[in-house]
Structures are given as structure tokens and as C-alpha cells.
Amino acid sequence: MLQQVLEYAQANRERFLTELVNYLAIPSVSAQPEHERDTHMAALWLAEHFHKLGMSAEVFPTDRHPVVYAEWKGQHSQAPTVLIYGHYDVQPAEPFELWLSPPFQPSVRDGYVYARGASDNKGQHFAHIKAVEAYLHSVGTLPVNVKFLVEGEEEIGSPSLSGFVQQHRKMLECDCVLISDSALRSLHQPTLTYGLRGLLDLEVTVRCLGRDVHSGHYGGAVQNPIMALAKILATTKDDHGRVCIAGFYDDVRTLAEDERAELARLSYTEADLQRETGARAAFGEPEFMLAERIGARPTFEVNGIWGGYTGSGVKTIIPAEAHAKITCRLVPHQDPAKVAEVIAAHLRKATPFGAELEIRLGRGSPAALVDRHSPAMQAAARAAQATYGAPPLFELEGGSIPIVADFQRYLSKPIVLLGFGLPDDSIHAPNERFALACLDKGIEASARFLSEVTN
């Protein structure tokens, strides 16, 4: 059966790529209101694609971007059901000038397809869709029942999907959830993710004046909000990158020895980090190895800071206010609300006299830890080994997929995080790409998983 499926995928490779290119050409940027129609188009494109494969599919409107749901229930009712999750929304493509080819005019060169969303996440869930097509159009059936849930708000924190999952528990009922929205170590060293970090976002404003004022007429006599903000932020971390906020690390889980040993086997080095990111040097808590800093430790990062005059020439003012956007990555057992509280308390205490602090808190999403030993995970390990030629290593990812914690809460079924991308895909950055070999291997791994999970 598998042989036929893989032959079909091989024979239809060119068409698959053309379809993916069409999908990638839709600029479904969830964060930008001007792309509202495009996100809708991507949802419709998907639903139509599912219909063409012979699956039933529906587009559910939400407050923001629609959810696409599709299913194939041709197996008898005792057969397992696999729920496959993905997201059709993409990150903003800015800065455009750094792209070698335009982000929404997919370009196939040197064995990669370059486009925003190629790896994160269109290329990855497209591999699952093509695996399902290969089964249905070659052997005419699938080893399991399959449901697809593809959302359009992952890159903005999945604000609608949480309620959707809660509301549609029955429709989403399954035996396991399969998610490909991360990366392998390499095409010869597969990895299975068993944890994702959570996220807490906040925006702070420091106000010192009723209006911008002349820096000569008043300078020396009033507080400067940009300086005040810089000082406040500087108190949050020491020179080694440890967060100095009281209570911040309170609930952080210490890794078991076998977990540390497993992470050490990834042998992720400073040189890897430098090659992937262009970092001048590694930085961060010296007592933890890099894989731990990224996967098992929480962070406090400033994402943007602004205020005052930044145009050309000189403008002699003291600005009235200054702003910063901050996000924290959370690890298992940290409660986003509690972390938000200790951060707010710290920032307030650090605010100098003559400055006023305002904090706007986001929704936040907790970290997720999945069972490394579930039968579904073992099926994924067998599928990965057969596809990539080596037994997979387990890893903790530093990124977040907000809905995973909700899946655990509302569906209570094992989750498999089997990424198809590569570490140098440049997700969220200019020149994002997805290797054509990753597409081939992703289809194969998906096909193998669907047959292995029945055992």
C-alpha cells in the first residue's frame, strides 16, 4: 500500500509544486488589516483543494480570520482518527527590500521554494494534504480517518481558535493530534518535539510630560521618558542574561537527568547558533546548555522600543512619552497571569520619580509538554526513522504554537509534533524558504505515520 502511495507522490511531484506555489502566492498575513481579503482567499483555496481531493470541507467564519475544517471518514468507525493541525496565515513579509525575490511571488531555485509562509506553515501542512491525496488517489482509501483543522490566526496568537476548539469538541474528536510546524535537526537527523514554550506579550508606556517640550527651554528640569524607559528595562536582566525579576523563575521546571542527556545528544553548538542567526556570540544563562536555554528556560525580550523624534536631521525636544513591546517565552508550569503580575510589580518598582508607567497585557498562552512515550509518538518515531534513515532525537522547541495547550485541555489526546522544516528556513525573516526535499520527505513521513499509527 505504502509503495503505491509513494510512487503516486513521486509521479505527481511537479503538479504538487505548482499547487504549493499558487497557495504561497496568496499573501495571507494575519496581522495586517489590509490583507483581510487575502486570508479569506487562502481559506477558500484550502477548502476548494480539500473538495477536489474528495474530502468534505467547511470554512467557519470567526471574529477575525476563518477556520478551515475538512474530514475523510471512509474507514470503519473503530479505526483511529488523526486530527492534523496547521495554519494558513503567515507573518508580515517586511522588510521587503531584503528579499531576493518578492515574498508573494514564489521562486523555485537551488532546490528550494522561496516565499513567505513556505516553511511556516503552508509547505508543512501542504505535505500532509498531499499524503492524504496520494492515499485516496492511488489505493483509494486511507489507513485511518483523517480530520484537518487549518486556522488563519496562529501568527497573532490564535485568539479565535481556543473558543472554536472548545465549541467544536465533538467535531474534533480524535485519537491523536498531528502537527508539523517546526523543524528537523537535518534531513539525516529527524527530531520529535515534545515541548513548546508559551508566550506572554505586553506593551509599556512611560509618560513624563503633558506634551513634547523644547529640550533647551526645559532640558535639565524634567524627566526624559526614553531615559526612564531605558533604565527600567535595564533592571530586568543581569550581564549574563538572567532575568532579575523577583518570582520570575518560581514555577520553572528543572529537567530530569535523562531529559538533559537527550538534549545534549542534539549537540547544538555555538557555531550552529552563529551560522543560523549571524549572532556575534552566544549569550544567556551560562549554567545551561544552548538547547536548554532555548527549550527549557523562560525569557524576557524587548521586541521593539520607540519614542521621540527619529526622522532626518535634528529636532530638539524632550518627548512626552516612550514605548516598548515586550514578550516573554514561558516554560511548563509557569502561569501566564502570575508571571504577568511579577513583571508588572517589578516594572512599577523600577519606575523613577517623575515618570508614570502604563502596562498593557496581552492574552498570553501557556507552554505545552507532550508525552514522549505515547503510542502516537512511537508511531511518529517509526515513521521518522523509515523516512529520514535515523532514529529521531527528542527536543524542546523554543517557539510557541498557542493552540497546543488548548488541544491538551479540551481534546485530552496525545499530540505529535513532527516538524518538516529545517533550522535555516528563515521563518519570520526575509527569504523564507522550504526545501523541495523537505516537501518530498514530509509527504513520505506523513504517509508512513498514517499507516504506523494503526499499530
Nearer to Mn ion, 29 or 204 (CB): 29
Under DSSP, the state recorded for 301 is E
When asked if residue 425 is in the footprint of ligand BES (CB under 6 A), the reply is no
- Cα–Cα dist 295/284, whole Å: 13
By CB under 6 A, tell whether 432 contacts ligand BES.
no
Residue 120 near ligand BES by CB under 6 A = yes
Residue 81 or residue 182: which is nearer to ligand BES going by CB?
Answer: 182
Q: Does 377 bind ligand BES (CB under 6 A)?
A: no
Which of 143, 423 has the CB closer to ligand BES? 423
CB-based contact 150:125 (threshold 8 Å):
yes
* Cα-based distances in Å from 414 to 69, 82, 256, 407: 20, 10, 21, 9
**Of positions 19, 71, 151, 155, contacts ligand BES by CB under 6 A:** 155
Residues 6+ apart with CB under 8 A from 135: 5, 141, 142, 143, 447, 450
Please tell me whether residue 89 binds Mn ion under the rule CB under 5 A: no
| Residue 262 engages Mn ion in binding (rule: CB under 5 A) | no
Helix (H, G, I), strand (E, B) or coil at 241: coil
User: Is position 153 an interface residue for ligand BES (rule: CB under 6 A)?
Assistant: no
Size of the site for ligand BES (CB under 6 A): 13
Question: Nearest residue to ligand BES, using CB?
Answer: 399
User: Contact between 364 and ligand BES (CB under 6 A)?
Assistant: no
Residue 452 interacts with ligand BES (CB under 6 A): yes or no: no
What is the DSSP annotation of 63-87? SSS-EEEEEE--S-TTS-EEEEEEE
* Residues 6+ away with beta carbon under 8 Å from 183: 119, 191, 419, 420, 421, 422, 423, 425
Q: What cell was used for 25? A: 502566492
Question: Nearer Cβ to ligand BES, position 196 or 343?
Answer: 196
CA distance 44 to 50: 10
Residue 236 binds which entry of ligand BES, Mn ion, none, CB below 5-8 Å type-dependent: none
Please name the amino acid found at residue 439: L
Among 19, 38, 71, 120, binds Mn ion (CB under 5 A): 120
Sites for ligand BES among residues 170-229 (CB under 6 A): 181-182, 199
Residue type, 332: P
Asked if residue 157 binds ligand BES (CB under 6 A), the reply is: yes
Q: Are 21 and 134 in contact (CB under 8 A)?
A: no
Beta carbon of residue 211, minimum distance to ligand BES (angstroms, whole number): 35
By the rule CB under 6 A, 395 interacts with ligand BES: no
Binding of Mn ion by 440 (CB under 5 A): no
| Closer of 414 and 421 to Mn ion (Cβ) | 421
In the complex, which residues of this chain contact Mn ion (CB under 5 A)?
120
